[in-house]
Amino acid sequence: MTIPDDRKYTQTHEWARVEGNIVTMGITQYAADELTDITYAELPEVGSTVTAGQPCGEIESVKATSELLCAVSGRVVETNERLREHPEYVNQDAYGKGWMIRLEAVDIGPLDGLMDAAAYERHTAGG
């Protein structure tokens, strides 16, 4: 499985991609595979503020419900509406059409502390 090198990764298997001050977030393909068939994504409301390291949503699968932790603090500008009808997009393409949240970051500084693709690959290879 190829891990895109245009973004950063959290220990808890979220990814974040920066374009200007807009950060797009989702969960990694590894996480999606582990959760198995995803049935629902509870995402924050557009306009709400979210805090780095805090839960900002819940991902439900046939196996379990797990929290989506925010990679950076900011204001939600868009969520992936298509996941409402097609939560399976996350399983099919976690790094592309399975994206979840776009937010206007207060400070993208914390992203520097996250893993790059190579480090994330090592992170998941261990377990």
Partner 1 sequence: MVEFAGWSMPLMYRGIIEEHHHTRSQCSVFDVSHMGRLKITGEDALSFLQGLCTRNLEGMEPGVCRYTLMCRDDGGVLDDMIVSRYEQHWGIVCNASNREKIVAWLRQHAVDRRVTIEDQTVATAMIALQGPMAVERVLAMIPFDISGVRRYRFASGVYMMTSYTIFRAGYTGEDGYEIVVPAGLAKLLAFRVLGTGGEPDVAIRPAGLGARDTLRIEAGMPLYGHELDEATDPLSAGQSWCTDLRKDFVGAESLRRRAEAGLKQTLVGLQLEGRRTARQHFLVQAGGKCVGRITSGCLSPTLGASIAMAFVEADHAREGTELAVDFGGRPVPARVVKLPFYERPKAKET
Among 2, 47, 62, 112, binds partner 1 (CB under 8 A): 62
Query: Residue count at the site for partner 1 (CB under 8 A)?
Result: 12
Secondary structure element (H or E) that encloses residue 118, with its range: helix 117-125
In sequence order, what are the beta bridge partners of 53?
none
Of 39 and 49, CB closest to partner 1 = 39
Q: Does 57 bind partner 1 (CB under 8 A)?
A: no
Residue 3 per-residue DSSP state: P
CB of 116 to partner 1, least distance (A): 30
Q: Does 36 bind partner 1 (CB under 8 A)?
A: yes
Q: Does 45 bind partner 1 (CB under 8 A)?
A: no
Neighbours of 121 (CB within 10 A): 16
96 phi/psi in degrees, rounded to 5: -120, -100
**Three-state secondary-structure class, residue 71:** coil
For partner 1, the binding residues (CB under 8 A) are 36-37, 39-40, 42, 58, 60, 62-63, 65, 84, 87
